[in-house]
Structure 1
């Protein structure tokens, strides 16, 4: 029986529009150009940061990120960046008796911003804070220590088959793919990827889905 639901962040809870938009502005290219390049590297199964390297070959992404922060183009996160189903969906899960946690490949700053928004969750954690990122097994080991739940009683919800679904399943967790964002749409029905236990289009589907035991 599932007792705990853990959510990825980017394109699961948070729209990435602002994130990529500020990168496009920083690199001096139209936002559509960077958006198209992100789509291209996603389709090739590459790291999405490769889109930045296509614009600025050989760039040190962490150094660029630090320079962007110092110039006032750092990470921002507002309530409008959350998908509309996030607050009601997470609240409904908690009301139904499930523990709700957030853990994704994000910076420490992103963790601070999410916590400041008061998203209804028992904890918010990021890979930068933990010092380990998906798809590494150690990420999911840390996740289970944080939640205090058994793998078989824990559901991981994310949009990326390779970073979310496959490694979570390998760690013994139940899995749910949310069909949104470039990864969720492109890879949802693709052959040769790890199949999730469930696929949804809205977080608000989860309480009834989990209760039904389907």
Structure 2
């Protein structure tokens, strides 16, 4: 039985299209170029930010993020950035009495923007707000604190093998791997995903059946 569902953010509940498009515009390269580079670094198992360093070697990503914010071209999240299955699924889960938590590797501002969307969730938190990021075990310790349920009755949902599936399972959580986004599709058949995740899903809507079983 699942008492709490905890969802990752990027490419789980939100599309990253606008995020990477805005970085491409800021760095002055075609959007397709950066998109292709993101795919390339993902295929190599590298962090997404390495795509930015391929365009501008030595870039200080944090400083550049601050510069974008100061220029009024910073982080944005709106209803159009949500996947279509997010609101219906979260609403259905809460009607079933399941606690819904959203927690991912995002900035303080991203947390504020997500909360402004008034999503049907009991809690929204980000790694920057917590002061610890995935895949560190401290992040999943915080997940269990806010889940208000035992690890074996808490389900963590995400697309990323190294950030979501493996560390969540190591923390004792139940895990659903979502085939969505570059990481979700490319690594779906990897042993550290296929052999570790308790469920493999193609839509968040499948969580309703999982939680109700």
Query: Shorter-chain-normalised TM-score: which range?
Result: over 0.9
Q: Distance in 1 between matches of 2:153 and 2:94?
A: 15
Question: Is the CA contact (8 Å cut-off) linking 2:9 and 2:102 kept in structure 1?
Answer: yes
Cα drift, residue 207 of structure 1: 1.2
Q: Which residue of 2 aligns with 1:65?
A: 65
SS at match of 2:205: helix
Q: Distance in 2 between matches of 1:106 and 1:128?
A: 6
Cα drift, residue 104 of structure 1: 0.1
Cα drift, residue 52 of structure 1: 0.3
Q: Distance in 2 between matches of 1:211 and 1:126?
A: 27
Q: Which residue of 1 aligns with 2:210?
A: 209
- Given the alignment of the two structures, is residue 198 of structure 1 paired with residue 194 of structure 2, yes or no? no
Q: Distance in 1 between matches of 2:103 and 2:127?
A: 7
Query: Structure 1 stretches of 5 or more lacking a match?
Result: none
Cα drift, residue 103 of structure 1: 0.2
Question: Is the CA contact (8 Å cut-off) linking 2:161 and 2:192 kept in structure 1?
Answer: no
TM-score, structure 2 length as denominator?
0.97
Cα drift, residue 173 of structure 1: 0.1
Q: Distance in 2 between matches of 1:67 and 1:93?
A: 39
Q: Which residue of 1 aligns with 2:135?
A: 135
Cα drift, residue 177 of structure 1: 0.7
Q: Which residue of 2 aligns with 1:180?
A: 180
Alignment length (residue pairs): 212
Cα drift, residue 189 of structure 1: 1.1
Q: Deviations over 1:85-141 (max 9, x none)?
A: 000010011111110000000000000000000010000000000000000000000
Q: Distance in 2 between matches of 1:43 and 1:15?
A: 19
Q: Deviations over 1:28-82 (max 9, x none)?
A: 0000000000000000000100000000001111001100111111111110100
Alignment of 1:30-179 (within 5 A): 30-179=30-179
Q: Distance in 1 between matches of 2:191 and 2:101?
A: 30
Q: Which residue of 2 aligns with 1:22?
A: 22
Displacement over 6 Å in runs of 4+: none
Q: Distance in 2 between matches of 1:84 and 1:16?
A: 14
Q: Distance in 1 between matches of 2:175 and 2:48?
A: 22
Distance 1:192 1:93, change over 3 A: closer
Cα drift, residue 192 of structure 1: 4.5
Q: Distance in 2 between matches of 1:95 and 1:192?
A: 33
